[in-house]
Amino acid sequence: MKQKLPEPMLQALAEAEAAAARGEVPVGAVIVSPAGEIIASAGNRTLQHKDPTAHAELLAIRQAAQGVGSERLMNCDIYVTLEPCAMCAAAISFARIRRVYFAASDEKMGAVENGLRFFNHPTCHHVPEVYSGIGETAAQSLLINFFRLRR
């Protein structure tokens, strides 16, 4: 039986699809308030913005912080289609995001369960709860198809 994905992950996947349509690596992120409302969503825009920091997670964090009027996103959760890199993991920690839900693992650049494992370092001041594999098949398919077309 297929598991129904939570609405925020469905929205993150839609952001990833939109990123792919723009020629960006298909990664999407959504931030959910403590009340369970989606308060920010974004897809990668590194090419469009000519900015290597324009990852979906950072764009969503910026949007959410502006929306709540604080640099801290206490008790908010982030849903992202790909395991966050070191830069995004650091931003998640700095924003004090409560939980990270991600779909596909990233053995090459991921920094949560792979590679650096940012949240496991003793110098990491805020460690969110992490849940992986939610929507993994859909996210992996988007990434595989995107890169297959480019090679």
Q: Please, are residues 29 and 63 in contact by the beta-carbon 8 Å criterion?
A: no
37 part of the active site: no
**Bridge-partner residues for 125, per DSSP?**
none
Q: Please, are residues 63 and 33 in contact by the beta-carbon 8 Å criterion?
A: no
The DSSP-derived string for 85-136 is: -HHHHHHHHHTT-SEEEEEE--TTT--SSSTT-GGGSTT-S---EEEE-TTH
Q: How many residues does the chain have?
A: 151
CA–CA separation, 29 and 22 (whole Å): 16
CA–CA separation, 67 and 121 (whole Å): 30
DSSP H/E element including 12: helix 7-21
Q: Which of 15, 24, 57, 83 is catalytic?
A: 57
Catalytic residue numbers read: 57
